Amino acid sequence: MDSFFQFFQLDEMDLTSATNQTKTLNLKRSSGDYIVSGTSKKSEFGNNSLNTTSLLLSFLSNVFRKITHSLNPHFRTISIYCFCMIILFTGCDDNPTGGEPRPIPPIAHKDPDWSPDGRYIIYYNKGITNMDSDYGYLTNSTKAGLYLVDLTNSNTKQLIAGRDFFEPTFSPDGQWIVFVFNDKLHLLHISGDSLREIETSYGCYDPAWSSDGKWIAFKALVPPNNYLEEWRGILYKIRPDGTEETAFIVGGQPVQGNYANWFQGDDFLLFMSTNWEKPGLFTLNLIDSTFEWLFNPLHSAGYPNLSPDGKKIVFTHDYTLCKLYLSNPQPIPITKELKQGIARWSPDGKKIVYCAPDKEFTWKGAGVLWTMNEDGSGKRQLTFLDDVDDQR
């Protein structure tokens, strides 16, 4: 039975991921704006009724795909398990309170990162310009983009306009920002100029600078070799000029993972494994190519970010922002007020920036940026929706 539960360790995360699927999403374009209406997409860390049918189909298709691929000998046990899941989920009510599913406010500001000097926080602004009572909303492409907020005076400015600029990350010298657009890495100078693409062989996600600024680690989405295999998230590194694209290799096999963090003089890499046979949080010794397992969450977990001193991480676990010390890898809950999982340490390791509901516009509740102390105290709202038109 141990091997049976081990087989399903990642499926719990897949199950959680499946709940994030959109039930209804209608897009219209008018005068350069996009109107998003009738959406009941589950925010990454919000409450919402589950789309049972899509969730169940996603879960079962993943299970049987793994069965086909692995030829696991526990086929009968797994079949019984899947049958039980069918009974369980078909007996659930998508909306036990009755009526239509409760709309979920969107995430307005996301993917924050602190500048090395601690003065600025960069983030992606979705460009929401108004919102109705069902959280249908309109976005403007000239307002959307990457923004800087100056923590000395709370002023914000747009660095570059555009949609879907994800995971902006400061270089160690604070002069460059790497971010993801159209599944590719891009570099932007802090002045907002000198934008260029870093050419890679595969789709890229989760960029992370080495401490000397000479490398950028990222997750590459590598296609399967045949129809029996799955797409794999492989950890790569590349020079900022686009040269020396290299996969991290251990034992002759590429390392499957995401959310890489360099530490201890760039001799180690902290990452979350995407290998369903070996899930969990790991460190990789880049000198002798050895792994150390730190923590194996049986439920949803992700976005680990290592503190500047390399002693602790902040990450999401069971829809809660948690802290974990590498010397004693047990999650310590910090806050459940989350709209999106990415959180980042301040350069001095005393504060955390994260995404939580807007309290100035409680009715709207859209995700904006907050800061807090590492123990969860001293919460302060950083970005606001005061320029969003209330269309109730």
* pLDDT at res. 225: 76
* pLDDT at res. 389: 53
**Run of H or E including 260:** strand 257-263
Structure-token pair, residue 330: 């047990």
* Contact status, residue 282 vs residue 291, Cβ threshold 8 Å: yes
> How does pLDDT run across 140-179, given as a tens digit for each residue?
889 999 999 999 998 999 999 999 999 999 999 999 999 9
Q: Pinpoint the alpha helices (H) of the chain.
A: 2-7, 9-18, 52-70, 75-90
For 251, other C-beta atoms within 10 Å of its C-beta total 8
> How does pLDDT run across 100-115, given as a tens digit for each residue?
555 677 889 999 999 9
* pLDDT at res. 388: 59
Scored b (16 or more CB within 10 A) or e, 31-57 reads eebbbbeebbbbbbbbebbbbbeebbe
Helices 52-70 & 9-18, crossing angle to 10 degrees?
Answer: 150
* pLDDT at res. 74: 44
Domains and CATH numbers, the chain: 2-29+40-90 (no CATH), 109-390 (2.120.10.30)
Query: DSSP string spanning 342-384?
Result: EEEE-TTSSEEEEEEE-STTTTT--EEEEEEETTS-S-EE---
User: pTM of the entire structure?
Assistant: 0.75
Which residues of the chain are modeled with pLDDT < 50? 1-58, 61, 64-77, 80, 83, 87-98, 390-392
Identity of the residue numbered 239:
R
